[in-house]
Chain A
Amino acid sequence: MDFQRFKPHLPWITLLVLIALVGVVDDTFLRPANLLSLAGDIVPLFIMALGLTFAIYIGGIDLSAQSMANLITVVASVYLASMGAWVALLCVIVGFGLGMISGYVTTRLLVPSFISTLAVGGVAFSLAQYLSGQRALNMDAMQRDAVFGWMIGKTGMIPNELFIAAGLLAITLFIERRTTLGRALKAVGAGEPAAAASGLNVARYKILAFAISGALAAIAGLLFSVKLSGGAPTIANGFLLPAIVAVLVGGTPLTGGVGGVLNTAIGTLIVAVIRASMLYFDIQATQQQMVFGLVLIGAIALTIDRAKLRIVK
């Protein structure tokens, strides 16, 4: 097999090599129960990365994802008591709506998405602080278990989060591969002027991409608040950069049109394995971030398919 055909498979090969490497050092890592709980822990990050994939796929970026998740943890904690299960719908609508605003500002006011999503993130942060009264909030444990308990339990040895992740992955994969929307997003990402010239309503599809990103960030926030049984305006801080990294390592470059949600699934797992490997390689807490950065450079160098990047900016 020549190298060109081999290239698209690099992300999952990188993942397998990493898993094998850690497995060689300590074979307890390879136990199914261990791998499953590792995957279960990373689900909120994965869902956020899944949403970001849409923003990055069209050549933009969504820097509001973390503030969005923060806001949703607060919304979920505040309104669970009065709305019950309907609070989930409220969360998704808030995320979708704020995402639409990002998309609107980007496409109609022509503000780069880097700035527009950062600004909307600021608005979300203010909202979260206002709603929470700048405190950490707790959910009523009984009510949480009654309404959302199914999200965080285990079925057999499989964490339930993984079913949610798989379901969302299937839906987004369907959108990406089997719908007009998915086709349109690919066209926009691969070449926006060409897509516009072909009569595509580029602005509408871009707004939708940001809205999907917002909605998924909201679901990530909801799951996070259920897991922690509460919410706070800064509780999900530290999620944004790892989520972006997960998308990029999976092989969806910032130029757009290449990669997709499956790549993000692999990218998230690569990030999870790198993080977990620190434990198995006995790397001190103070050294971990540096090692993470170095391994990241190696992982990205391996997984990017440069044939599809005309100019490396």
Chain B
Amino acid sequence: MTGRFSREAVIRWAPLLVLIALVILFTAINPQFFSLRNFARITISSAPALMVAVGVTFIILMGSIDLSMEGVISLTAVLFCMAFVRFGGNLAAGGWLAMPLILALGAGIGFVNGLIHVRLRIPSFMASLAMGFVGTGAAVLLTGGDIVKVDDDVFRGLLTYRVLGFPLMVYVAVVFLGLGWFLQTRTTLGRNFYAVGGGEDLAHASGLNVRRVRIAGFTLAGVFYAVAAILQVAKLGQAESVTGANFMFISITSVVVGGVALWGGVGGVWNALVGVLIVNTINNGMVVIGLPDYVQDGMLGLLVIVAVVLSTDRRAAIVVK
């Protein structure tokens, strides 16, 4: 087929179609699903997850993988709360200083992660997994198992203050999504991610410093994880050593459901957005239609398989691992 309904066009829009189909399905079962309140709920749970997904998208684009997010989020969330309290305990008095500090820290952890992967020549799966252990371990060490709270109405406004029905944190996530899109499409670094993912040999032979691109990618991912940590703290009002738990598998699943290929070079931040929305819509929808909670994990698994089958261009894959 050619023209508007060519195979490429269908594949590009397939994840979005899956998302729309899910919304129609859940609405048909329970009309209350289709309401502003519920959409706000979905976007609140999506906001931190989206930041993690955007971060890991850059890594997956390069054909690598990053499993450090749980540790990084726990550590940055805990340190954010501690710094916030140390700087006065409210945003106006100096607590805002904690934000750039934590973003820089996220970048630093990502940089170290990339450095271990590239300099010690350890595959990213293992390097980042070990870094994740270190991050969680550091969070345990800092908190000693306790919870660190942040009670500042202005900061919690990220969750409580709503514009057009959606809380501020959703808009913050959208801004950072835009930043990710800008980096991906309008900068040399973004193009280099695709170059490395599309064929590392070729990128190297063309004179690209592949190692530097990889380290930059992990650093960038670290910044996005730190944003996720801040949003997660805004959502929960506290941080502990398990704040980052469950972000690892679900973020990678989301990215793949959205149409990003695990072998690299295919997809982008829009796919991450649609994927995160698909996974969170499924999770929310199962609750809204009143599915028993013990069925939900299995149902999520089945729906994710269906979504991946429908929404990704698997014919491009020579080998599916």
Which chain A residues have a beta carbon within 8 Å of chain B's beta carbons? 59-61, 63, 105-107, 109-116, 118-127, 129-130, 134, 192-193, 241, 244-245, 248, 253-256, 286-294, 296-297, 300-301, 304, 306, 309, 311-313
CB of A313 within 8 A of CB of B123, answer yes
* CA gap between A115 and B309 in the complex, in Å: 11
Residues of A close to B144: CB separation below 8 A: 286
A193 contacts B130, C-beta separation under 8 Å: no
Whether B129 pairs with A244 at a CB distance below 8 angstroms is: yes
Among residues of A, the one whose C-beta sits closest to the C-beta of B261 is: A112
Closest Cβ of chain A to B249, distance in Å, is 6
- B305 lies within 8 A of A286 (CB): no
CB <8 Å contact, A304 and B122 = yes
Contact B256 A115, beta carbon cutoff 8 Å: yes
Closest CB-CB distance, B199 to chain A, in whole Å? Answer: 10
Contacts of A122 in B (CB 8 A): 297-302, 304
A183 and B140 alpha carbons, distance in the complex (Å) = 45
- A114: chain B residues at CB < 8 Å are 252, 256, 262
Q: Digit string of B92-133 for contact with A (CB within 8 Å is 1, else 0)?
A: 000000000000000000000000111011111111011111
Are A109 and B305 neighbours in the complex by a CB distance under 8 Å?
Answer: yes
CB distance from B52 to the nearest CB of A (A): 16
Structural contact, B133 and A292, CB atoms closer than 8 A: yes
Cα A216 to Cα B309 with chains together (Å): 28
Q: Which of B117, B134, B304, B318 contacts A293 (CB 8 A)?
A: B134
Q: Which residues of B lie under 8 Å from residue A111 when comparing CB positions?
A: 305, 308-309, 314, 320
Given contacts A290-B137, A312-B124, 18 further A-B contacts (CB under 8 A): A63-B249, A105-B305, A112-B256, A113-B320, A118-B249, A123-B297, A126-B301, A130-B294, A193-B318, A245-B126, A253-B123, A254-B123, A290-B133, A291-B137, A293-B71, A293-B131, A304-B126, A313-B63
* Residue on A nearest B134 in the bound complex, by CB: A293
**Distance between B2 CB and nearest chain A CB, rounded to angstroms:** 25
Question: Of the candidates A115, A255, A292, A300, which one forms a contact with B122 in the assembled complex, judged by CB atoms under 8 Å apart?
Answer: A300
Partner of A60, one of B65, B201, B257, B321: B321
A113 touches B321 (CB 8 A): yes
**B253 near A: Cβ within 8 Å?**
yes
B301 touches A121 (CB 8 A): yes
**Cβ contact of A309, chosen from B64, B117, B123, cutoff 8 A:** B123
| Contact partners of B253 in chain A: CB under 8 A | 115, 118
Measured between beta carbons, the chain B residues less than 8 angstroms from A256 are 321
Interface contact B320-A110, CB-CB below 8 Å:
yes
Asked if B308 contacts A288 (CB within 8 A), the reply is: no
B137→A293 contact, CB < 8 A: yes
Return A270 CB to nearest CB of chain B, in Å.
13
Q: Once the chains are docked, how many angstroms separate the CA of A118 from the CA of B251?
A: 12
A293 to chain B, nearest CB (A): 3
Q: How far is the CA of A98 from the CA of B23 in the complex (A)?
A: 30
In this complex, the member of A59, A112, A134, A301 whose beta carbon has the largest number of chain B beta carbons within 10 angstroms is A112
Complex formed: what's the CA distance from A116 to B256 in Å?
A: 11
Q: Is the CB of B252 within 8 A of A107?
A: no
* Cβ < 8 Å to A, chain B residues 285-321: 294-302, 304-305, 308-309, 314, 317-321
> 4 tightest A-B contacts by CB?
A290-B137, A126-B298, A122-B301, A293-B133
Complex alpha-carbon distance, A254 and B314, angstroms = 21
Q: Which residues of A contact B126 (CB under 8 A)?
A: 245, 248, 254, 300, 304
Kindly provide the distance from the CB of B186 to the nearest chain A CB, expressed in whole angstroms. 26
Q: B137 near A119 (CB under 8 angstroms)?
A: no
Residues of chain A with a CB closer than 8 A to B127's CB: 297, 300
Query: How far does the alpha carbon of A109 sit from the alpha carbon of B120 in the complex, in Å?
Result: 36
- The answer, among B64, B295, B309, for a CB contact under 8 Å with A126, is B295
- Whole-angstrom distance between the alpha carbons of A113 and B304 in the complex? 13
Residue B28, interface by CB 8 Å: no
Chain A residues, CB < 8 A from B140: 286, 289-290
Nearest chain-B residue to A284 (Cβ)?
B141
* A53 vs chain B, min Cβ distance (A): 15
B17 CB, nearest partner CB in chain A, Å: 18
Residue on B with the closest CB to A110? B314
Chain B residue nearest to A120 (CB atoms) is B301
* Complex-state Cα separation, A114 to B67, whole angstroms: 12
On chain A, the residues within 8 Å of B64 by CB distance are: 313
In the bound complex, residues from chain A placing their C-beta under 8 Å from that of B321 are 59-61, 112-113, 256
A116 and B305 in contact, given A125-B297, A300-B126 (Cβ under 8 angstroms): yes
User: Can you list 14 contacts pairing A with B, beta carbon distance less than 8 Å?
Assistant: A59-B319, A105-B305, A119-B301, A123-B298, A124-B298, A130-B294, A245-B129, A287-B141, A289-B133, A289-B140, A290-B137, A290-B140, A297-B130, A313-B264
* Chain B, Cβ-Cβ closest to A196: B319
Most buried by B among A122, A125, A241, A300: A122
| A287→B144 CA distance, assembly (Å) | 9
- The reply to whether B116 and A125 form a contact with Cβ atoms under 8 Å apart is no
With A114-B262, A119-B302, A293-B131: A126-B296 Cβ-Cβ less than 8 Å: yes
Q: Is B152 an interface residue (CB 8 A)?
A: no
C-alpha gap A123/B129 in the complex (Å): 25
Q: Which of A59, A121, A126, A253 has the most CB of B within 10 A?
A: A126
Q: Which residues of B lie under 8 Å from residue A291 when comparing CB positions?
A: 137
Give A311 Cβ to nearest chain B Cβ, in Å: 5
Interface flags, B68-104, vs A, CB<8A=1, else 0? 0001000000000000000000000000000000000
Nearest CB of chain A from residue B145's CB, rounded to whole Å: 7
Which residues of chain A are within 8 angstroms of B116 by Cβ–Cβ distance?
A: 297
Known contacts A63-B249, A287-B137, A312-B121: does B294 contact A129 (CB below 8 Å)? yes
Cβ of B130 and Cβ of A296 under 8 Å apart?
A: yes
Question: Given that A287-B137, A313-B64 are known contacts, is A126 also in contact with B294, CB under 8 Å in the complex?
Answer: yes
